[in-house]
Amino acid sequence: MSSTACILGCSGPVLTEREADFFRDVRPWGFVLFKRNVETPDQVRALTSALREAIDRPDAPILIDQEGGRVQRLGPPHWRRYPPGRAYGTLGANDPLVRREIARLGARLIAHDLLSLGINVDAVPVLDVPQKGAHDIIGDRAYGETVAEIATLGRAAAEGLIAGGVLPIIKHMPGHGRAMADSHQDLPVVDAAYEDLDAVDFEPFRVLSDMPMAMTAHVVFNAIDDRHPVTTSRKAIRKVLRGAIGFDGLLMTDDLSMKALSGDFTERARAALAAGCDIVLHCNGSMTEMEAVVAGVKTLSGASKKRAEAALSRLSRSVEPLDVADAVARFDAAFEGRFAA
């Protein structure tokens, strides 16, 4: 059966009867989990199973934001803490190979955690290049301050996830690092010249343009489209994301409930798909909002369906072998126990 071009959340740690009925009728392509959905390993496993059963799709993608640092939905006492992206960029100051190895190892361990719970997509890596004076919504979530650092460590993290049977999502395309506002609360507007954006902000995404999935930035770039944020800008998606960056994977929106976007939820969903996004993402689990989102989306078809199938085909049938105890010991040694469970 076909899926609807959306990814939706649920309200709590247990799927309600109303939610199960709604998802069964709507058949979203996938789901997303947040802290409100997480209590214990057994509970999360039961929830991911229930979500997939509701739409009768054992391969349905289930997403989570497990970056480390400020952004991790799983944490103590049941799961270990992970460092923010920037911490990897500070390791082995004279040996970039060490930084790359540990960034991959950290992601491989995260994938091990997630896959054991039935979660098969992580919204990592953050490829935004932070700029001095910008809002700190990116801050230490970035792997470094240069294109080379971010592209190299972002690649390592993505490969660690894939090796562990979890798909990465590169974000926030084409770059959130210059934003002077948090798009959760306001609409950021960037005035930088196109040449500067192309040389810096776009470049990490260009380097990782072979990744299966990407998430848009709710940011207006005046040099590209001074009327619409990237998420709802046909010009930005065609000229930059699909054009200058060359990304041909599955393109999803950032959360439609963020205040950077305007209009009701039906309008937001329609505008994003009309602009060229393949899938819309709605995270907060509000049934009223989800009903409005679904009214603005369509069945996943054509090129978008092919991209969705291609993304899921990147899931490994058998994950890379991992000696967990040894991996944890090496990881903790690299950070001198600062992030030990």
**In this structure, are residues 61 and 114 in contact, taking their beta carbons and an 8 Å threshold?**
no
Could you tell me the domains of the chain? 4-334 (3.20.20.300)
Strand, helix or coil for residue 152: helix
Residue range 98-124: mean pLDDT, rounded: 97
- Write the CA distances from 332 to 106, 139, 149, 197, integer angstroms: 10, 23, 22, 37
Q: Which of 25, 56, 136, 184 is flagged as catalytic? A: 184
Q: What is the structure's pLDDT at 182?
A: 76
Mean pLDDT of the 25-49 span: 98
Cα separation, 114 vs 108, in Å, equals 10
**SS3 (DSSP) at 220:** strand
Helix, strand, coil: what percent of the chain each, to 5? 40, 15, 45
Per the structure block, which two tokens stand in for 86?
């920037």
Question: Catalytic one among 254, 255, 278, 282?
Answer: 254
Rounded mean pLDDT of 164-189? 92
- The alpha carbon torsion through 320, 326, 327, 328 (nearest 10 deg) reads 140
Q: How confident is the model at residue 341 (pLDDT cuts 50, 70, 90)?
A: low
Q: How many CB atoms lie within 10 A of CB 194?
A: 15
User: Average pLDDT in the 27-31 region?
Assistant: 98
Residue 238 to residues 233, 313, 325: CA-CA distances in angstroms?
A: 9, 25, 46
The span from the CA of 169 to the CA of 207, in Å, is 14
pLDDT of 203 higher than 80: yes
Does residue 94 register a pLDDT over 70?
Answer: no
- Res. 253: pLDDT tops 90: yes
3-state secondary structure of 35: helix
Residue count (the chain): 341
195, 246, 244, 199: which is closest to 223 by C-alpha? 195
Query: DSSP letter at 299?
Result: B
Backbone angles phi, psi at 316, to 5 degrees: -70, 140
184 tagged catalytic = yes
pLDDT at 95 over 80: no
Average pLDDT (298-322) is 96
